[in-house]
Amino acid sequence: MKQYDAIVIGAGQAGGPLAKKLALAGKKTALIEKRWIGGTCVNDGCTPTKSWVASAKMAYMAGNSSALGVKIKSYSVDMPKIKKRKDEIVKQFRDGSRKGLDATKGLDVIFGDATFTGDKTISVKLNEGGKTKELKASLFFINTGAKTFISEIEGLRDIDYLTSTTILDLDHVPEHLLIIGGNYIGLEFGQMFRRFGSMVTILEKSGRIVSREDEDVSEELSKIFKDEHIAIRTNTTVLKLKKKPGDKITATVLTDGLEKKIKCSHILIAVGRIPQTSGLNLAKTGVETDERGAIKVNDELETNIPGIYALGDVKGGPAFTHISYNDYAIVYRNLIKNEKLTIKNRPVPYCMFTDPQLGSIGLNETEAKKRKLNYKVAKLPMAYVARAIETGDTRGFMKAIVDADTKQILGATILGAEGGETMTILQMAMMGGITWEQVRWFVFAHPLYAESLNNLFMALEP
């Protein structure tokens, strides 16, 4: 059995950087990865989907260019080329990360499937050759991520359904893509494939899409999608799926108590993700998990077993690449730099890459109301933003929640062109304790989207 100081399971956005830093700090480290370096983000998450979003945006611009005085008589979507471009970008990111890890002294990168055999021991079945390695260490870091949650729908297992991973292998445009799930993943893929040329129908079980957002956000996004001829059915449950040889898939659904049938060529399951812990044999370690399989951690990301940590999506909570990376930063700086950082009260920004983007930070209006805070709301339609008018895209709005007494910014939601970038400015203001009154009078370069923050907060003046 080979002894290490530290073993990292999973080369995601926390695992890879952490393994490298631990090795550079003098700890003999092993990084175990059963698939590819980079985790979900690089291989079948952020990187590939955002490359496809860019291609879809080009198709949309080509189809709507006449509004800006540029007539394009015809254009076509070359799906094999779009996929090839995506694959090349993924390979570039993956290979770059692999190169950095391979060059790190004191770090062994092992490709295989890790299973705990004791509280600080693992067995790794190697990808090549099928042999096993027995390893042990005093420190373990689990970064195995999450996977698509597959609903229990009658007939689902009998059809070739798509997930957010397998849909990226398509080299053709589906005739009719039926998406089960009206949240972030489903909306990004829905708009993307509509722009590629698919007929798209989105089914959502709750009363509105992106139901964790404020109602006005859901309503505005619904309008934007319907304007692009994307069908959205809320209050809808899928009862049964069936496919006859040589025929389309038939989905039997229940909408507001009425049973209906929808025929489609492809189905995407986008109802959420669950932590990947089932194959780790955590029972051998005593590490506790919740009912969804997420590993329980304290504010410093350590489990109930000293010396075993969990980072990223595998621990539950906000499932974002930047949160996983921040998990790495916290663990590394605490262990190696002797700092005392925690995940408590850290900002959790996020951006959905629909077009327009939805960027969010801090509290929304619904949350502020639930907490019974003394707050004010600032709201500005993108139709009043100079840059939006000039570029011809006035969809969406800016919205901020502020403390009525201290004038601190409590949160912001930007649904508009480059919404994530504008949101980030407000995040920095929040972290720096800058009040809305100060942002109101900031000097921004004209005519940036950021400049409209002056007007957003002007509405709060007496």
DSSP lists the bridge partners of residue 126 as 112
CA distance 402 to 457: 10
pLDDT over 90 at 133, yes or no = yes
- Residue ranges and CATH numbers for the domains of the chain are 2-146+274-336 (3.50.50.60), 156-271 (3.50.50.60), 356-458 (3.30.390.30)
Dihedral angle over CA of 44, 47, 53, 56, nearest 10? -80
Cβ-based neighbours of 359, under 8 Å, separated by 6 or more: 349, 350, 351, 412, 413, 414, 415, 419, 420, 421, 422, 423, 424
Above pLDDT 70, what percent of the chain? 100
pLDDT over 90 at 137, yes or no = yes
- Can you tell me whether residue 67 is helix, strand or coil? helix
Residue for token pair 């009425």 = 258
Longest dimension (CA), the chain: 73
Which residue, 270, 267, 264, 331, is CA-closest to 297?
A: 331
pLDDT over 90 at 21, yes or no = yes
The DSSP annotation for 13-61 comes to: TTHHHHHHHHHHTT--EEEEESS-TTHHHHHHSHHHHHHHHHHHHHHHH
Please say whether the beta carbons of 16 and 145 come within 8 A: no
Q: C-alpha 234: how far from its chain's center?
A: 22
378 half-sphere exposure, CB direction, 13 A CA radius: 29
The DSSP annotation for 327-342 comes to: HHHHHHHHHHS-----
Q: Is the C-alpha dihedral spanning 438, 443, 447, 449 positive or negative?
A: negative
Average pLDDT over residues 20-36: 98
pLDDT over 90 at 130, yes or no = no
Summarize pLDDT for 397-436 with one digit per residue, the tens.
999 999 999 999 999 999 999 999 999 999 999 999 999 9
CA distance 199 to 196: 9
- Could you tell me the end-to-end alpha-carbon distance of the chain, in angstroms, rounded to an integer? 71
pTM listed for this prediction: 0.96
Active-site residues, by number, are 446
Average pLDDT over residues 131-139: 97
pLDDT over 90 at 462, yes or no = no
How many beta carbons lie within 10 A of that of residue 334, not counting itself?
A: 17
For 191-206, the three-class secondary structure string (H helix, E strand, C coil) is: HHHHHHCCEEEEECCC
Name residue 102's amino acid: D
- Can you tell me whether residue 123 is helix, strand or coil? strand
Task: Show the tokens assigned to 351.
Answer: 């951006």
Q: What pLDDT is stored for residue 245 in this prediction?
A: 87
How many beta carbons lie within 10 A of that of residue 138, not counting itself?
A: 13
Q: Compute the residue count for the chain.
A: 462
Q: What pLDDT is stored for residue 301 in this prediction?
A: 99
Which residue, 40, 294, 57, 292, is CA-closest to 185?
A: 40
Q: Is the C-alpha dihedral spanning 185, 187, 190, 191 positive or negative?
A: negative
Q: What pLDDT is stored for residue 342 in this prediction?
A: 98
Q: What pLDDT is stored for residue 292 in this prediction?
A: 94
Q: What pLDDT is stored for residue 371 in this prediction?
A: 98
Task: Show the tokens assigned to 107.
Answer: 């770090």
Which residue, 128, 52, 145, is CA-closest to 90?
A: 52
Average pLDDT over residues 168-197: 98
DSSP 8-state code for residue 365: H
Summarize pLDDT for 239-261 with one digit per residue, the tens.
999 998 888 999 999 999 999 99
Please say whether the beta carbons of 431 and 409 come within 8 A: no
Mean pLDDT of the chain: 97
